[in-house]
C-alpha cells in the first residue's frame, strides 16, 4: 500500500449512471500534482458506497480549509482506498 | 460538452432537486441543477450527495465553480473547484506566519490581500520560485473573506479566496509541504519550550516562549540562510521544492520537564541540542524531521551548536566510494540531525547553514566538521571534509582524495587564512578560493561578504549526493 501526502489543488465530482467518480489533484503546489480518484461502481454495497462518499466529502472540506491529507492507494494505482487528516 | 464557470450566487434545495445559480453577481446568473431521481442507482445518488456538498462548500467559501453540462441542458454532469495557479497553505491567521505555494514566483513578488474594504500589500520575508513566506500575516488584513494573490511587475497570479481569522495561532505550521509522500525530507524550526540548566535535570521556561513574533521573524532568516545565500547546496536544481518545512511554536507547553526541553545550557555560553528529545517532541504534531533547529531566547547562552544525524544503516541506501573504500548514503535516520540557534544571533553570517552542514551530516557514516580547529583523526568514522598529516611540517598532498571516482585537490593555502604552523589538518579545494570555507571561520571573509562563503568542492558533491539519496527515498 502506497501513501501520498499533500494539499488538494483541485477536485471534481462526476455522478454517472453506471460508475460515479471523484477526482483529486494532490501536490505541494498547483503545477506539481498527482491525480487520484474515488470510484463508486454499482457493485459497491450501500455501506461501502456511503463510506466512499464520506471520503469525497472529507476531501472537499480539506480542500476549502487548506488541510493537508494523506491518501492511501495501491502501488501503481491512483484509486484512493483510505485517507488520513491530522489536526492543524 | 459546455463548461460554465462562475461563483454560486444561490443554492436551493427543492423537491428532490438541488439548484445553483451561477454568475458574476446575483442579478446575472445561469441556473443549473442536479436531481435525486427515483430511478437513480444507489451509487449515483451517493455521488450526487457529494456533488451537493461540493456546491455548498464552493458557495460557503467563495470558490468559483466549473460546471459541465449538456449543450442545451442545465443538468449538471460534473462540477469542479480549484485549479488556481497558487495555493495558500494552512489557515490564514492574523499575526501568525503564512505561506503560499506556486510556480515561477519572481524575487520581487508581493502578496496582496483584498476585500471590499481594504487592500493590504506585503513584501514576503522569504521567496523561492515555488513558495513565499510571510513571517506574520499583518493585523491590517481584515478578518473574514479576502482574496489573496501574488503580483510583481512581470508576474500575476490568480486570486484565491481565503478566510482570515484573528486566532488562535497554529502550533505546528506547515510552511511548505514538500514532495507528496509520507516521508519527504523535512527541515523543522522549533521554538524551544524549556531550557535544561547547566545543573542537569533542572528546567526553566525558555524566554522565547514569550516572544512568538521574534521567533517567527527568525524563521525566515533561518530559511533564507539555508536557501538564498550564495552557497546553493540546498537549492541547486530547485531540490528544495521536494523538501518539507515546518515551524513549531507551541505556547501551551508549560511543564518544566525533560520532554519539553530541546536545549541544554552548557558553559560558558553554549546552547546545546538535546538530540534524544527532538523526535518525540515533533511526533506530538505528527511530524518527523531529518534536520531540526531549536531556537532559544536565552540571554546568557547564545552560541549555536549542532549534533550530527544518526543514520539508519539497516534500511535502504545509496553506495559510493571515498578514496578506495566503499560507503553508503543511508536514506533514513535513526535520530535526526539537530542544531540550536539563538534568537539574538547576528544575522549577517551563515550560522544556520553552517550548523546545517554539521547536523545534516552523520556520525559515524559521514561527518562534516568545523575547519577552524585542527582536531584529529577518529578511527571508525568517515570525516568528509578534513584529513590530517602525520606531522605539521609535512607538505600538504596535492590530491585531497577521491569521491566516487572523481579526484579532488587539496586546499593548499586554506584560502586567505593559511594553516597555522602547528596544524596537521588540511582541507579539500574550495569552490570559491577567495573566501573561507562555509565550515571554516566565515566571519574572517572580507567585510560584508560572509554570506558569500561556500563549501569545498568535494564536500559539496558528497553532500549533494547525500541529500538526493534522502530526497528521493
Q: Does residue B26 carry a pLDDT above 80?
A: yes
Range of the structural domain that residue A41 is part of:
2-84
pLDDT of residue B174: 96
Element containing residue B89 per DSSP (H, E): strand B87-89
pLDDT tens across B194-253, in order? 999 886 779 999 999 999 999 999 999 999 999 999 999 999 999 999 999 999 999 887
Phi, psi of A87 (to 5 degrees): -65, 150
Cβ atoms of B265 and B196 within 8 Å: the answer is: yes
| Residue appearing with cell numbers 586554506 | B414
Which of B254, B269, B333, B336 lies closest to B305 in space, CA to CA?
A: B269
Rounded CA-CA distance B95/B77 in Å is: 42
Rounded CA-CA distance B42/B50 in Å is: 13
State what percent of residues in chain B have pLDDT above 90.
93
The grid coordinates listed for B428 are 579539500
The domain segmentation of chain B, as residue ranges, is 3-81, 87-168, 173-471
Omega before residue B268 within 30° of 0, cis? yes
- Please judge whether B170 and A68 are an interchain contact, meaning their C-beta atoms are less than 8 angstroms apart: no
In this structure, which topology does domain B87-168 adopt according to CATH? Answer: Immunoglobulin-like (2.60.40)
- Please judge whether B80 and A10 are an interchain contact, meaning their C-beta atoms are less than 8 angstroms apart: yes
CATH of the domain at A19: 2.40.50.110
pLDDT of residue B184: 96
Mutate to test the interface with A, among B5, B34, B36, B43 (most CBs of A within 10 A): B43
Q: Does residue B254 carry a pLDDT above 80?
A: no
List the single residue in A30, A56, A88 with the smallest CB-CB distance to B87. A30
- Please judge whether A29 and B91 are an interchain contact, meaning their C-beta atoms are less than 8 angstroms apart: no
Spell out which residues of chain B touch residue A17, defining contact as CB-CB under 8 Å.
Answer: 40-41, 44
Rounded CA-CA distance B465/B237 in Å is: 13
- State the CB neighbour count (10 A cutoff) for residue A35: 12
| Residue appearing with cell numbers 521554538 | B191
Average pLDDT for residues B188-197, to the nearest whole number?
Answer: 96
pLDDT of residue B413: 92
In DSSP notation, A51-88 reads: HHHHHHHHHHHHHHTT-EEEEEE-TT--BEEEEE----
Distance from CA of A30 to the nearest CA of B (A): 6
Average pLDDT for residues B170-174, to the nearest whole number?
Answer: 95
pLDDT band at B377 (very low <50, low <70, confident <90, very high): confident
pLDDT of residue B376: 81
pLDDT of residue B309: 98
As a CATH number, domain B3-81 is: 2.40.50.340
- Please judge whether B286 and A41 are an interchain contact, meaning their C-beta atoms are less than 8 angstroms apart: no
pLDDT of residue A25: 97
pLDDT of residue B326: 96
Average pLDDT for residues B355-362, to the nearest whole number?
Answer: 98
pLDDT band at B1 (very low <50, low <70, confident <90, very high): confident
pLDDT band at B403 (very low <50, low <70, confident <90, very high): very high
pLDDT of residue B237: 95
pLDDT tens across B260-276, in order? 999 999 999 999 999 99
The grid coordinates listed for B437 are 570555507
Average pLDDT for residues B328-347, to the nearest whole number?
Answer: 96
Regions of chain A where pLDDT drops below 50: none
Question: Which of these ranges, A73-82, B249-258, B275-284, B342-351, has the smallest mean pLDDT?
Answer: B249-258
Q: Does residue B449 carry a pLDDT above 80?
A: yes
pLDDT of residue B329: 97
Rounded CA-CA distance B22/B24 in Å is: 7
Residue in chain A closest to B241 (alpha carbons) equals A28
Phi/psi class of residue A55: alpha, beta or left (left: φ > 0; alpha: ψ in -120 to 50)?
alpha
Rounded CA-CA distance B30/B75 in Å is: 11
State what percent of residues in chain A have pLDDT above 90.
93
- Does ipTM exceed 0.95? no
Distances in whole angstroms, Cα of residue B31 to Cα of each of A52, B1, B10, B66: 28, 17, 9, 13
In DSSP notation, B201-212 reads: T-EEE-GGGG-H
Mutate to test the interface with B, among A8, A9, A14, A15 (most CBs of B within 10 A): A15
Average pLDDT for residues B26-51, to the nearest whole number?
Answer: 94
Rounded CA-CA distance B26/B37 in Å is: 28
pLDDT of residue B380: 86
pLDDT tens across B98-151, in order? 999 999 999 999 999 999 889 999 999 999 999 999 999 999 999 999 999 999
State what percent of residues in chain B have pLDDT above 70.
100
Phi, psi of A66 (to 5 degrees): 60, 30
User: How many domains does chain A fold into?
Assistant: 1
pLDDT of residue B206: 95
pLDDT of residue A1: 86
pLDDT band at B257 (very low <50, low <70, confident <90, very high): confident
Amino acid at each position: 500500500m502506497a501513501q501520498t501526502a499533500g494539499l488538494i489543488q483541485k477536485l471534481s465530482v462526476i455522478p454517472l449512471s453506471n460508475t460515479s467518480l471523484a477526482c483529486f489533484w494532490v501536490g505541494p503546489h498547483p503545477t506539481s500534482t498527482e491525480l487520484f480518484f474515488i470510484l463508486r461502481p454499482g457493485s459497491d454495497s450501500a455501506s461501502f458506497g456511503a463510506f466512499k462518499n464520506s471520503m469525497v466529502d472529507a476531501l472537499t472540506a480539506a480542500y476549502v480549509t487548506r488541510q493537508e491529507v494523506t491518501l492511501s492507494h495501491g502501488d501503481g494505482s491512483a484509486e484512493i482506498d483510505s485517507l488520513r487528516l491530522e489536526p492543524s | 460538452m459546455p463548461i460554465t464557470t462562475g461563483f454560486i450566487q444561490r443554492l436551493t434545495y427543492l423537491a428532490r432537486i438541488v439548484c445553483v445559480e451561477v454568475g458574476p453577481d446575483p442579478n446575472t446568473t445561469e441556473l443549473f441543477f442536479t436531481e435525486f431521481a427515483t430511478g437513480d442507482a444507489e451509487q449515483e445518488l451517493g455521488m450526487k450527495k457529494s456533488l451537493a456538498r461540493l456546491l455548498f462548500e464552493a458557495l460557503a467559501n467563495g470558490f468559483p465553480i466549473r460546471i459541465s453540462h449538456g449543450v442545451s441542458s442545465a443538468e449538471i454532469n460534473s462540477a469542479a473547484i480549484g485549479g488556481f495557479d497558487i495555493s495558500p497553505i494552512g489557515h490564514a491567521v492574523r499575526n501568525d506566519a503564512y505561506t503560499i505555494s506556486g510556480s515561477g514566483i519572481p524575487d520581487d513578488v508581493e502578496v496582496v490581500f483584498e476585500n471590499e474594504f481594504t487592500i493590504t500589500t506585503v513584501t514576503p520575508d522569504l521567496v523561492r520560485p515555488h513558495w513565499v513566506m510571510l513571517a506574520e500575516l499583518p493585523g491590517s488584513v481584515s478578518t473574514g473573506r479576502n482574496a489573496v494573490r501574488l503580483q510583481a511587475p512581470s508576474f500575476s497570479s490568480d486570486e484565491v479566496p481565503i478566510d482570515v481569522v484573528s486566532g488562535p495561532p497554529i502550533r505546528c505550521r506547515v510552511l511548505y509541504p514538500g514532495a507528496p509522500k509520507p516521508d519527504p525530507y523535512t527541515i523543522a524550526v522549533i521554538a524551544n519550550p524549556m531550557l535544561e540548566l547547566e545543573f542537569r535535570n533542572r528546567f526553566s521556561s525558555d524566554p522565547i516562549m514569550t516572544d512568538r513574533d521574534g521567533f517567527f521573524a527568525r524563521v525566515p532568516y533561518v530559511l533564507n540562510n539555508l536557501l538564498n545565500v550564495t552557497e546553493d547546496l540546498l537549492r541547486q536544481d530547485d531540490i528544495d521544492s521536494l523538501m518539507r518545512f515546518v515551524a513549531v511554536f507551541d505556547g501551551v507547553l508549560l511543564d518544566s520537564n525533560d520532554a519539553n526541553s530541546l536545549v541544554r545550557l552548557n558553559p560558558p555560553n553554549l546552547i546545546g541540542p538535546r538530540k534524544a528529545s527532538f523526535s518525540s517532541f515533533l511526533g506530538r504534531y505528527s511530524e518527523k524531521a531529518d534536520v531540526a533547529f531549536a531556537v532559544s531566547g536565552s540571554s546568557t547562552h547564545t552560541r549555536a551548536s549542532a549534533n550530527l544525524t544518526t543514520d539508519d544503516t539497516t534500511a535502504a541506501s545509496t553506495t559510493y566510494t571515498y578514496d578506495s573504500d566503499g560507503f553508503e548514503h543511508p536514506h533514513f535516520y535513526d535520530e535526526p540531525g539537530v542544531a540550536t540557534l539563538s534568537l539574538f544571533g547576528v544575522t549577517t553570517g551563515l550560522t544556520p547553514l553552517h550548523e546545517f552542514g554539521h547536523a545534516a551530516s552523520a556520525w559515524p557514516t559521514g561527518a562534516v566538521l568545523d575547519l577552524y580547529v585542527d582536531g584529529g583523526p577518529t578511527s571508525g568514522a568517515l570525516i568528509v571534509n578534513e584529513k590530517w598529516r602525520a606531522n605539521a611540517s609535512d607538505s600538504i598532498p596535492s590530491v585531497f582524495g577521491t569521491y566516487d571516482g572523481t579526484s579532488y585537490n587539496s586546499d593548499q593555502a586554506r584560502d586567505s587564512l593559511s594553516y597555522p604552523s602547528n596544524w596537521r589538518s588540511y582541507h579539500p579545494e574550495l569552490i570559491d578560493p577567495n573566501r573561507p570555507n562555509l565550515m571554516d571561520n566565515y566571519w574572517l571573509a572580507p567585510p560584508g561578504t560572509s554570506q558569500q562563503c561556500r563549501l569545498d568542492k568535494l564536500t559539496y558533491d558528497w553532500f549533494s549526493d547525500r541529500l538526493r539519496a534522502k530526497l528521493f527515498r
